[in-house]
Amino acid sequence: MSVILLAALTACGSTSSSGSSSTTAPAGGSLTVYAAASLKKSFTDLGQQFSKDNPGWKVDFTFAGSLDLVTQLTQGAKADVFASADTKNMHKAGAAGLLSGAPVNFASNTLVIVTPPGNPKKIASFADLATPGLDVVVCAPQVPCGSATKTVEQATKVTLNPVSEESQVTDVLTKVTTGQADAGLVYVTDALGAAGKVTEVDFPESAAAVNTYPIAVLKTTTNADEAKKFIDLVTGPAGQQTLSQAGFAKP
């Protein structure tokens, strides 16, 4: 009888031990990042790096104009991190109570003129963009690249008459690369990313309109630790190197 009882107790102990060891699950999940359209290439690369550094985690991005992103967030969209192409739209996010902490500036960008390859209209200055009959495309005034354009217009006292105003800088670039415009105003980083598809025309007045890029954790995050890790990656040596290679300057 005692032998049978001992065997039964041993069997129970074995089952309990194996059951407890099977409850451990690997860590991982998905981080949602809302980021300005001009960050697409750099942040996609950094998202891949984040996944390598944090096995089991991936980063899902939504890229669009900063104003569009703030609008989506204020209307209830859920995300972990927001990166804006200017401080103005980050301030809007803060005023709407969307941020869980202070934003961190991580890069800056300036405007440049882009034309179809070879610069067929021989554009040499910002003032040339006001030439009658020239089809010029810019960003809408309410988005960061458009606000920067208005700043340059005020500094140069040159008023442009664009054929269209786009909601994000990548749309301006597309209008030029597809031959729908004679020239456009985009960021240095966008021109660099389109090397071979456009001709870049620098103008000194662009220094009057430098856009600073901030990043912040959002209150809707359910992955606060990982959101902070992503921001640390962006602001750390690896992130800064990636951004520099894309043409971004220091904040």
Binding site: which residues?
Answer: 38, 66, 169, 187
Placement of tokens 């739209």 in the chain: 89
Give the ranges where 58-194 is alpha helix by DSSP (H).
Answer: 66-74, 87-95, 144-156, 169-177, 188-193
Placement of tokens 């991982």 in the chain: 28
Placement of tokens 């859920």 in the chain: 78
Q: What is the DSSP letter of 211?
A: E
How far are the Cα atoms of 24, 60, 144, 182, 216 from residue 169, in angstroms, in the given order? Answer: 46, 21, 9, 16, 22
Tokens for 34?
């809302």
Binding-site residue set for molybdate: 38, 66, 169, 187
Query: Which residues have CB under 8 Å from 238's CB, separation 6+?
Result: 46, 49
Tokens for 66?
């900063």
d(CA 111, CA 79) in angstroms, rounded, equals 29
The number of beta carbons lying within 10 Å of the beta carbon of residue 46 is 22
d(CA 166, CA 158) in angstroms, rounded, equals 20
User: β-strand 136-139 against 29-36: which pairing, if any?
Assistant: unpaired
Backbone angles phi, psi at 241, to 5 degrees: -65, -45
